[in-house]
Structure 1
Amino acid sequence: MNINEKFNFNFPTQIRFGVGVIGELADYLKSNGIKNPLLVTDPLVRELNLFKKITSDLKRQNISVEVFSEVHKNPIKSDVLAGKECYQVTGRDAILGIGGGVALDVARAIALSINHHRDLFDYDDLIGGDKYVTEPIPHFVTIPTTAGTGSEVGRSAIISEDETKKKRILFAPSLMAKMVFADPRLTMDLPPFVTAATGMDALTHNMEAYLSKNWHPMCSGIALEGIRLIGESLQTATLQPDLPSRSRMLMASMMGAIAFQKGLGIVHSLAHPLSSLLDTHHGLANAINLPYGLEFNYEDNEDSFDQMGLVLGFNKGEGKKVLSYISELNVRLGLPIRLSDIGVKDGHIATLSALAIADFCHPNNPKPVSETDFERLYRAAL
């Protein structure tokens, strides 16, 4: 990848990729008649110089900016409703999601809510709510500042219930951004821990998508290339960041989000309850659980592990080395490697296991998973 070039491509939506493309945002908005966008972000990104520069550049070009950043680390329904009210009260005409997965999920859910007036969770895809997504959404642009979730190219938002923290999926093809500005320079200010955790999230997306039992050869190919890019880039992006490594990570993150239309699996079902119950960062939860989920899936899927091993630089037939590679990668990145390191106690395991078996990801796992399996894996990771 030549980091001095800028690229246009559509998959699944229009993406403007390259160092410096964020400088084209104002012209893009003006060419689409947008004068009063709502910028949706999170409290941390709002204070970064990169965000302040985006807002000042827009204002300098006579674009009126309103910022909404009152969101939780694991976003909840009331965050979305507050954003909807902000959009309406301040007379906005477009929504720009700027940040990582949290900001982009909330931005997408706000976009859904503007012209859809049922209860937000009536649109939950897991109960067939996508059939109610019938109206257009406001002009929606995504601008990632992390290389993890790939939410910028997604069509869904994961929002939790306020009280129970149960995760709901809002999904429809019409929720896709009209334009993605993917500028690797915007990820350069990420601290090492966030870079590592979000990078492991992207790796988990690609690996679980590749292993998913569902048939989607295009997604499988994308996932393998995403794994290769992360394997050659994540450690450098975390410990000695430069634009080439950050560029490859940003691309691999989007590839993971595209690939997981094929499905995810056991690792995400292990990780989601940690976010719901203990407010654990999603990428970190995936990172800790990934070695255990992969070990569970290794038997009967040796050929798939061999393919992942090849793109990670192992010899033919050495797929089992992927298991130790992931554990060692977490150590090299400075991430916690045990659930006990992030506050999980033995008394949490029964509740976590019950939440995991109810999760929506493991039905796509290459092997069936029981609640007993989840209990055993949590104890192994403890």
Structure 2
Amino acid sequence: MLNIHQTYTYNFPTKIRFGVGVIQELAPCLKEENIKHPMLVTDATVHQLPFFKKLITQLENAHFKVTVYDRMHKNPVKSDVLGGKELYNENQCDAIVGIGGGVAMDVARAITLSINHHRDLFDYDDLIGGDQYVTEEVPLFFTVPTTSGTGSEVGRSAIISDDVTKQKKILFSPKLLAKIVFADPNLTLDLPPFITAATGMDALTHNMEAYLSKGFNPMCDGIALQGIKMIGNSIVSATNSPDLFSRSKMMIGSLMGAVAFQKGLGMVHSLAHPLSSLLDMHHGLANAICLPFGLEYNQTGFEDKYNIMAYTMSLGSNQGKNLVDSIHVINEQLNLPSNLASQGVKEEHIAPLAQLAIQDFCLPCNPKVVSEDDFREIYTKALHYD
């Protein structure tokens, strides 16, 4: 049973320090690794938060020279990574600490890859076998999540878009796993409700899609179901009346989702990714809006799995038929929008969105075949849903 007054260490496979206050262990850890000049990679919003400024002061008082890189887009692009590489080299840094949500983690991990790998960044795209070029050592890399969403802190890949085409690339290697994750739920308490809700729905989507994906990985299935339970039973309270217990469960559920989706994701992410790359929509929000529509499409033929997910979310036995409606209800309880039109999506966007969705790297793991016409139909349904 989770005890918020206790800290924990566990490995899967990254070493994870979990619990209230573990952020205080970062400086001693860096000192133990003989680090002198870490580069903290975060977004501009986190850079201004009190805990981050306090962390910089703590590190400087411990005689570290600290460089901060916070130049990144809401959906990170290659130039964000190259700017971080340049700053790292200019300041002769010797470690990277990713602090924040999925954007900061992706940029930090991609910078970590780039330091000693000098081909064009997208030569390392995993979808074209680029992992074969990840042959050199990488700087020491640590992660500190401040949201409970992507779970990128325990990941080994980064998703970076082309500045011009907006097409997403996957940079992947086991070398990109963090040496240690410092998962402190206390850092999430000051998140505004929207960010808590949107990132939380991202984490729920990870777990659900991993469980439904057609890959075979029974360990990931078990982790995904536990993640669904943790998030499904805590996301509303964590958003609307947060406390350390609900925030702790959300952070654990997020970590679980990132571990589980090594099995694969599916069409919900294929729907969401173009909304982010083409229209700059928040990734978690895009998943939240698209999740019930993707679940509805995949339901026939997978009723047993839907019954299990529904039971895990405390909907009762044989209630898979109500799972889609329950997601709509959760979005409403979280004050998240129910349709795409509310986010500026228009009819003329449907065709280009569908063209990107059918090419998305998550689609091959979807349990059912989806055509470009299907994507157009789903986007159209989600456009004005009420």
1:323 aligns with 2:324: yes
Q: Deviations over 1:29-85 (max 9, x none)?
A: 001101100000001110111111111111111111100000000000000000000
Which residue number in structure 2 is paired with residue 108 of structure 1?
109
1:296 aligns with 2:297: yes
Q: Distance in 2 between matches of 1:285 and 1:7?
A: 33
Q: Distance in 2 between matches of 1:189 and 1:39?
A: 20
Which residue number in structure 2 is paired with residue 21 of structure 1?
22
Task: Extract structure 1 runs of 4+ deviating beyond 2 A.
Answer: none
**Is the Cα contact below 8 Å between 1:142 and 1:179 reproduced in 2?**
yes
1:65 aligns with 2:73: no
SS of the residue 2:329 aligns to: helix
Which residue number in structure 2 is paired with residue 380 of structure 1?
381
Q: Distance in 1 between matches of 2:100 and 2:195?
A: 12
- Write the letter of the residue equivalent to 1:111: T
Q: Deviations over 1:175-227 (max 9, x none)?
A: 10000000000111100000000000000000000000111000000000000
Q: Distance in 1 between matches of 2:190 and 2:144?
A: 15
Q: Distance in 2 between matches of 1:307 and 1:153?
A: 26
Q: Distance in 1 between matches of 2:109 and 2:127?
A: 17
SS of the residue 2:117 aligns to: coil
Which residue number in structure 2 is paired with residue 151 of structure 1?
152
- Write the letter of the residue equivalent to 1:53: K
Residues paired across the two proteins, number: 382
Q: Distance in 1 between matches of 2:55 and 2:98?
A: 12
Deviation at 1:118, TM superposition (A): 0.3
Q: Distance in 2 between matches of 1:264 and 1:244?
A: 28
Q: Deviations over 1:251-291 (max 9, x none)?
A: 10010000000100010000000001100000000000000
Q: Distance in 1 between matches of 2:13 and 2:199?
A: 22
Deviation at 1:315, TM superposition (A): 2.0
Q: Percent identity?
A: 63
Deviation at 1:362, TM superposition (A): 1.2
Contiguous gaps of at least 5 residues in structure 2 = none
After TM superposition, the score normalised by the length of structure 1 is 1.00
Which residue number in structure 1 is paired with residue 185 of structure 2?
184
CA RMSD of aligned residues (A): 0.5
**Is the Cα contact below 8 Å between 1:268 and 1:286 reproduced in 2?**
yes
SS of the residue 1:52 aligns to: helix
Which residue number in structure 2 is paired with residue 342 of structure 1?
343
SS of the residue 2:262 aligns to: helix
SS of the residue 2:317 aligns to: coil
After TM superposition, the score normalised by the length of structure 2 is 0.98
Q: Distance in 2 between matches of 1:41 and 1:316?
A: 43
Q: Distance in 1 between matches of 2:318 and 2:311?
A: 8
**Is the Cα contact below 8 Å between 1:12 and 1:258 reproduced in 2?**
no
1:363 aligns with 2:345: no
Q: Distance in 2 between matches of 1:81 and 1:216?
A: 36
Q: Distance in 1 between matches of 2:21 and 2:323?
A: 35
5 Å-filtered alignment, 1:239-258, equals 239-258=240-259
Contiguous gaps of at least 5 residues in structure 1 = none
SS of the residue 1:262 aligns to: coil
Q: Deviations over 1:316-347 (max 9, x none)?
A: 21111111000010000000110000000001
Which residue number in structure 1 is paired with residue 162 of structure 2?
161
SS of the residue 2:138 aligns to: coil
Which residue number in structure 2 is paired with residue 74 of structure 1?
75
Q: Distance in 2 between matches of 1:242 and 1:302?
A: 35
Q: Which stretch shows the higher mean deviation, 308-317 or 3-12?
A: 308-317
- Write the letter of the residue equivalent to 2:301: D
Deviation at 1:17, TM superposition (A): 0.3
Q: Distance in 1 between matches of 2:240 and 2:315?
A: 23
